[in-house]
Amino acid sequence: MDSFISVKDMLNTMMMRGQDRELIPFSLTFVTADLKKDTGGKKITYDEAVFVGGPSKRDKARNPNHFANMTRNIRHKNSDRITTIHPHLVIKFNGMLLTQ
């Protein structure tokens, strides 16, 4: 029997920090989607990802407006590459299925 987690609880868990004030890594599987390019549908799994918060230091002029677009930035723990995800396209988070 699978366990379930809500999108709200997933987002709160993504931003949790340990006693050392470092972000706590999590695992997730999500589906890609790009409506502008009409591409996507690939499943991607990150075994250890961390939440990336705040604006990018390189491009302060561009505001991604994560709240309105319902997006979040994450990166693999061992990489500097930032990936933007849509929480509603996440299938599994820390081994639990998402409920909408």
Say whether 76 sits in a helix, a strand or coil.
Answer: strand
* 88 phi, psi to nearest 5 deg: -75, -10
Q: What pLDDT is attached to residue 89?
A: 93
**pLDDT digits over 15-28, tens only?**
999 999 999 999 99
**pLDDT digits over 67-90, tens only?**
666 789 999 988 999 999 999 999
- 62-to-9, 51, 56, 65, 84 alpha-carbon distances in Å: 28, 19, 9, 9, 14
Q: Which long-range contacts (CB under 8 A, 24 or more apart) does 14-23 make?
A: 14/51, 14/72, 14/74, 15/51, 15/53, 23/50, 23/51
Identify the residue whose tokens are 């639990």. 96
**pLDDT digits over 7-64, tens only?**
999 999 999 999 999 999 999 999 998 888 988 889 999 999 999 975 455 555 566 5
Q: Chain-wide mean pLDDT for the chain?
A: 86
Contacts for 39 with CB less than 8 Å, ≥ 6 apart: 32, 33
pTM over 0.85: no
